Structure 1
Amino acid sequence: MPATPTAAERRRFAQYIADERAEAAVYRRLARRREGEEREILLQLEQAEKRHEDHWIGLLGGLPAKLPRARLADRFTGWMAGRFDSVFTLALAQMSEGRSPYDTDPWATPAMRADEKIHHEVVRGLAARSRRRLSGTFRAAVFGANDGLVSNLALVMGIGATGVAPQFVLFSGLAGLLAGALSMAAGEFVSVRSQREMLDATEPSDYGDQYLPDLDIDANELALVYRTRGMSEGEALDHAREIVAAAHAGHMPTRSATVDAHEVVGGAFKAAASSFLFFASGAVIPVLPWIFGLTGVAAVVVALVLVGIALLFTGGTVGLLSGAAPIPRALRQLGIGFGAAAVTYLLGLLFGVSVA
């Protein structure tokens, strides 16, 4: 660590103080909306940010008379935390912890650098809980919207390029919307229902629990059940004896359902409804220019602009919720959607028709 901070470094320390205060405020506001273990975790994160703040105040010899404004990202996350207890807020906090400047600052202690890495993982863990709670329905919604945008844009671009009448493009787009939405909903329902049934089939059951008191504590096959679940022979035998002894004493085993896996998959009806509605909402966007009477190049340009905005939004949202930078994900989604539309448009030109 250098002996004496320069004027520029002192200004940087003041910025760190403002940023640490803003991050502490995020955790404090989130904690107000939580209870139990999650509340305690968030309050401990707030205290950790206060320790970092105290470090910079100590280097400055006291709190500056005037602090700069915190980073815009931290102020926005704090605003979100005060109003919304959502996975979006936690995802923003996770991203903030992931861009700590302490890695390259010689005035930061090794413990502070380590703290920032651990904070990132803690917030990531909290965000993961929220992601699991919404992942099934959210997955269906996002996939449905993206599929609707891309497939119907490709459809109207390809048909429009053949030179058919605008009314044909419009009705083709509406037909694609309805057919695609129904297909997506049916496929999502079957997929989610099948996944839940497979999970149910792989969970431990209570099929033989009522007969446990009748088992011989020394000669029984209960240990084989636990060996099929991954225990070693010795562990399975010991556990089987404990279970049978407890059953003889009148203490039947209790089982906890594997709710986490079911939460990730989501509900079949919810997933189907989300898929239908979001596919339809995405698929209607490329058709809007023709619905409002536009034709030719004007309709194509407006459709591309509208779909481009929607693709950037959905791609950025997925990136944000996954704890990654939203812009690369948004641009990737835009490239995929426009790439598919370009291919079908070229095919439409290739197989174009002449209209009398």
Structure 2
Amino acid sequence: MTDETANPTPASPPTGADRARWRRYLADERAEGAVYRELADRKTGEEREILLALAAAEGRHEAHWLALLDGDERGTPRADVRTRVLVALARRFGSIFVLALAQGAEARSPYATDPYATPAMAADERIHGEVVRGLAARGRRRLAGSFRAAVFGANDGLVSNLALVLGIGATGVPAPVVLFTGLAGLLAGALSMGAGEYVSVRSQRELLDASAPDPAAGDALPDLDLDANELALVYRARGMAPDAAVEHAALTLARVHAAGRQDASRTPTDALPAMDQDDEAIGTGLGAALASFCFFASGALIPVLPWLFGMSGLPAILLATALVGLALLLTGATVGVLSGAPPLKRALRQLAIGLGAAAVTYVLGLAFGTTLA
């Protein structure tokens, strides 16, 4: 086993730049350990234990750099900005966002190429990234249903209503017409999105429920023919290999017959396995509908604000475009953080798609306005 606290001995002696780098590593390890401890304070059970174990590992890395410095902490800088932001977020929120950012921080570890970091430390950092990815995945599953509806709702509201008011505004109609068109689009779109999400999630749950085993089928187990072993077909239908299905079904039926009819009702869940499904990721129909309605409405309100406050013409169009652009950048960056992707790239992609769609309707509005004139 590799001793991660053992100091490597490169061919050349350390320079002043090396010692400065060690101090920077020392500061970052301390800050990362603080992030995990702050998160652990807001968790219980297994998640808390995992986070405290990560903090302990960062403490071992901290001890490595401190040993190389002969215990001299003078001149140790503050942690980098990204890590300090993580600490601040962990203290205030302790949320999935912090774990998603921490996942990215672990993935950027320089230890694999640093001659003074041990192979065990480099391996630790890579594995830490996978541990944090797993913890973040739990939060993503809990958020997935309603969060998906919220993000799609907000983006649809922003883009569709901006396109609507820009297209109508470009025709040259009076400002009140643009305003009431935008408000009508807000209400109609929010109701449509909410209803659509409710039907979609409810239908998905109903389809999954239809795939679940019938609890009453377990009552038939004691009467099955041991030689024919029809239960094996159930396992095969659920995806088990033929030989494994026959073997497992035989064991199950033997247990049922040994227990007797009186205890057979205790075995249906084990005997008739359900298809895999993630209820947390699906969400609830009502939750998804409310999230979609509220976020579509909030997104659709933003492009209407200039006209709502009495503006008109080109200034209103420019302000609406700017406000929606900022909102698209924010939602895109948020999705990027949660998915572990570069936030700026996702934000710019969201902006380009949204403003591109609005630009098309604006040009069409100008064309119709010219035709009507």
| 1:104 aligns to 2:121 (yes or no) | no
User: In the alignment, which of 255, 261, 265 is matched to residue 278 of structure 2?
Assistant: 261
Q: Which residue of structure 1 aligns with residue 3 of structure 2?
A: none
| 1:313 aligns to 2:322 (yes or no) | no
User: In the alignment, which of 217, 240, 244 is matched to residue 231 of structure 1?
Assistant: 240
Distance apart, 1:304 and its partner CA: 1.3
Change (3 A) 1:260 1:127: farther
TM-score (norm 2): 0.91
Change (3 A) 1:309 1:208: same
Task: Give, in whole Å, the separation in 2 of the partners of 1:175 and 1:154.
Answer: 13
Question: Which range moves more in the overlay, 186-195 or 245-254?
Answer: 245-254
Q: Secondary structure at the match of 1:146?
A: helix
1:246-293 per-position Cα deviation (integer Å, ceiling 9, x unaligned): 222136224587785221111111111111111010001000000100
User: In the alignment, which of 73, 97, 103 is matched to residue 88 of structure 1?
Assistant: 97
1:290-321 per-position Cα deviation (integer Å, ceiling 9, x unaligned): 01000112111211121111111111111111
Q: Which residue of structure 1 aligns with residue 26 of structure 2?
A: 17
Cα contact 1:163–1:355 (8 A) shared by 2: no
Question: Which range moves more in the overlay, 170-179 or 242-251?
Answer: 242-251
Q: Which residue of structure 2 aligns with residue 283 of structure 1?
A: 300
Q: Secondary structure at the match of 2:177?
A: helix
Distance apart, 1:221 and its partner CA: 0.6
Distance apart, 1:83 and its partner CA: 2.7
1:28-70 per-position Cα deviation (integer Å, ceiling 9, x unaligned): 1211222222122111111211121122122222242342101
Cα contact 1:13–1:56 (8 A) shared by 2: yes
Q: What runs of 5+ residues in structure 1 fail to find an aligned partner?
A: none
Q: How does 1:188-203 map to 2 (within 5 A)?
A: 188-203=197-212
Task: Give, in whole Å, the separation in 1 of the partners of 2:95 and 2:193.
Answer: 27
User: In the alignment, which of 175, 178, 196 is matched to residue 166 of structure 1?
Assistant: 175
User: In the alignment, which of 40, 57, 78 is matched to residue 31 of structure 1?
Assistant: 40
1:222-267 per-position Cα deviation (integer Å, ceiling 9, x unaligned): 1111111122222112211221222221362245877852211111
| 1:79 aligns to 2:96 (yes or no) | no
Task: Give, in whole Å, the separation in 2 of the partners of 1:239 and 1:73.
Answer: 52
| 1:342 aligns to 2:351 (yes or no) | no
Runs of 4+ residues deviating >3 angstroms: 216-219, 254-260, 353-356
Cα contact 1:156–1:173 (8 A) shared by 2: yes
Distance apart, 1:134 and its partner CA: 1.1
Q: Which residue of structure 2 aligns with residue 330 of structure 1?
A: 347
Question: Which range moves more in the overlay, 161-170 or 238-247?
Answer: 238-247
| 1:292 aligns to 2:309 (yes or no) | yes
Change (3 A) 1:291 1:55: same
Q: What runs of 5+ residues in structure 2 fail to find an aligned partner?
A: 1-9
Task: Give, in whole Å, the separation in 1 of the partners of 2:95 and 2:247.
Answer: 45
Question: Which range moves more in the overlay, 52-61 or 276-285?
Answer: 52-61
Cα contact 2:146–2:291 (8 A) shared by 1: yes
Q: Which residue of structure 2 aligns with residue 274 of structure 1?
A: 291
Distance apart, 1:213 and its partner CA: 2.2
Task: Give, in whole Å, the separation in 1 of the partners of 2:275 and 2:47.
Answer: 20
Task: Give, in whole Å, the separation in 1 of the partners of 2:275 and 2:121.
Answer: 37
TM-score (norm 1): 0.95
Q: State the AA in 1 paired with 2:68.
A: L
Distance apart, 1:217 and its partner CA: 3.2
Q: State the AA in 2 paired with 1:341.
A: A
Cα contact 2:211–2:275 (8 A) shared by 1: no
User: In the alignment, which of 134, 139, 142 is matched to residue 130 of structure 1?
Assistant: 139
Identity %: 63
**Total equivalences in the alignment:** 356
Cα contact 2:208–2:277 (8 A) shared by 1: no
Question: Which range moves more in the overlay, 198-207 or 329-338?
Answer: 198-207
Task: Give, in whole Å, the separation in 1 of the partners of 2:137 and 2:72.
Answer: 36
Task: Give, in whole Å, the separation in 2 of the partners of 1:123 and 1:259.
Answer: 24
Cα contact 1:163–1:354 (8 A) shared by 2: no
Q: Which residue of structure 2 aligns with residue 45 of structure 1?
A: 54
Task: Give, in whole Å, the separation in 2 of the partners of 1:156 and 1:68.
Answer: 52
Task: Give, in whole Å, the separation in 1 of the partners of 2:314 and 2:22.
Answer: 55
| 1:140 aligns to 2:157 (yes or no) | no
Task: Give, in whole Å, the separation in 1 of the partners of 2:241 and 2:165.
Answer: 60
Distance apart, 1:160 and its partner CA: 0.7
Task: Give, in whole Å, the separation in 1 of the partners of 2:46 and 2:359.
Answer: 51
1:51-109 per-position Cα deviation (integer Å, ceiling 9, x unaligned): 21122122222242342101111112112222323111111111211221223322222
Cα contact 1:136–1:271 (8 A) shared by 2: yes
Structure 1 vs Structure 2 CA RMSD: 1.9
